[in-house]
Amino acid sequence: LYTAPGSCEGRCGEPFSEEDECHCEPECETRGDCCEDRERHCGPDGFSSSRDSITAQELLELSEQLYRADHNKARPGDIALNPQHLAGPDETGDKRDRSPQPLYKFVNEELFSKPTYASFIKLLDNYQRATGREEEVTAEELREQDRFLEEVMKTELMKKLFVFLQGKNRYSSEQEFVQDLKQMWFGLYSRGDGERDSSGFEHVFSGEVKKGKVSGFHNWIRFYLLEKQGGVNYFSHNFDGPWDTYPDVLGLQFSWDGFYKEVGSAFIGCSPEFEFGLYSLCFLARPGRACHLSLGGHQLSVQTYPWTKSTYGGGRSFIATAHVMSP
């Protein structure tokens, strides 16, 4: 389903990595293992010529800037977690609930009245979680998508991200950026039976069920709201990040109405725009590969994958998945 991209789009100037199925740095011509579209993207007139490539150092610096710009994140007193059992590698798959209490002891729900949170939460009930069942998108749901994009683009965080990407010749205007975000995140494609049953946003933030298992579902707000309603049962965690403020990172095991997630991961306590912006950056800069970032002086990686079976807008990729990686 997911493959590392055999393309140089956005990869010119990257160092050689054995993980890649084809390569984009100048030495690949000597080895004879360049991607077929290297010249088109990385040649002197290419879209991704070296001045427009996003370097590893730029990703580290920009992610720190976005981390500092997350003014809507939870403060230390806004969330109280109860992580309970730390699961070993041999325990994550056995579907045993080793934590009798909920994960969230307390969340200050005043956070949810902030415009980006409120518009984000409205999107969460727009989806049928079962793959193979076509999504019917109403006019109201389209308005909710537009409202969410409108609200996140008012934030300093998303404005910084746009200015950076514009400087890399990815987008010529904010309007073009927003239209592309709408397509890559909310555009529908088929995960099963040919029905337009999925989107990047549904998979990553709302969650899906495929072949009896939870698929995606990487958002802390969604988890908290469902846990409060009794729809999610927290089992254990296998990783708790090194941050002593929010956002933090948690690797966790849980069931959703009886469907199991063996190793989930989520940022805890970040704003919707932080997660949306960081995942978008990594998808544009390192699609299909680990995207190495720095938050508050701590390194972490985000993994994204493009959907490979259909495209939009002349060959652009929808987001198949995006999540923060827990060791």
Q: What is the distance between the alpha carbons of residues 236 and 102, in angstroms, rounded to a whole number?
A: 10
Question: 23, 73, 203, 210: which is the annotated catalytic residue?
Answer: 203
Q: Which domains does the chain show, CATH number per domain?
A: 1-43 (4.10.410.20), 56-325 (no CATH)
Work out the average pLDDT over 121-125. Answer: 96
Of 23, 218, 237, 323, which is the active-site residue? 218
Q: What percent of the chain has pLDDT over 70?
A: 96
| Residue 2: per-residue pLDDT | 39
The pLDDT score that the predictor gives to residue 69 is 98
Q: With 90 as the cut, is the pLDDT of residue 8 above it?
A: no
* pLDDT tens digits, one per residue of 164-187: 999 998 999 999 999 999 999 999
pTM, to two decimals: 0.86
Question: In this prediction, what percent of the chain has a pLDDT beyond 90?
Answer: 72
pLDDT value at position 44? 66
The average pLDDT across 269-297 equals 95
3-class DSSP state for residue 139?
Answer: helix
- In the residue annotation, 237 being an active-site residue is answered as no
Q: Which of 41, 73, 237, 261 is catalytic?
A: 261
**Worst-scoring range by mean pLDDT, 10-14, 56-60, 262-266?**
10-14
CA distances from 207 to 23, 212, 261, 288, 308 (A): 33, 13, 10, 20, 20
pLDDT at 37: 84
Q: What is the pLDDT of residues 59-81, one digit of tens each?
A: 999 999 999 999 999 999 999 99
- What b/e readout covers 163-176, taking b as 16+ CB neighbours within 10 angstroms? ebbeebebbeeeee
What would the mean pLDDT of 156-169 be, rounded to a whole number?
Answer: 96
- Beta bridge pairs of residue 6: none
Taking each helix axis from N to C end, the angle separating 272-285 and 139-152, rounded to the nearest 10 degrees, works out to: 90
203 is catalytic: yes
